[in-house]
Amino acid sequence: MIEKKVVVGLPHGLHARPAANFVKLATTFKSEIKLVKNEKEANGKSIMGVMASAIAKGDEISLVANGVDEAEAIAALEKVLLEEE
């Protein structure tokens, strides 16, 4: 299991389109993906879970991956969260 703290750089946070892009990428990995904000966990492969997390620009979250491709998943998903469009 890998856990990495990330400060979200997306201008409008993880709203509809960026959340959909995040989930689409997350589902390409075999690892379990979680987003943790204020001790609340969300399934990183669930659009409803990601959007319900209400992750805004500047929020510090934990990105957690557990599985065979966890390192690749963390690297790719962190890149999505740091983009400043």
Cβ neighbours of residue 85 closer than 8 Å, sequence gap 6 or more: 10, 11
Residue 34 has pLDDT above 70, yes or no: yes
12 is catalytic: no
Q: What's the pLDDT band for 83 if we cut at 50, 70, 90? A: confident
Q: What's the pLDDT band for 84 if we cut at 50, 70, 90? A: low
CB 32 within 8 A of CB 67: yes
| Residue among 13, 15, 43, 59 flagged as catalytic | 15
Retrieve residue 42's tokens.
């969300």
Q: Is the dihedral of CA 39, 25, 8, 52 positive or negative?
A: negative
Residues of the chain with pLDDT > 70: what percent?
Answer: 98
Distance, in Å, from the CA atom of 21 to the CA atom of 10, rounded to the nearest integer, reads 12
Domains present along the chain, CATH in parentheses: 2-82 (3.30.1340.10)
Residue 85 has pLDDT above 60, yes or no: no
Retrieve residue 38's tokens.
């204020």
pLDDT at residue number 74: 98
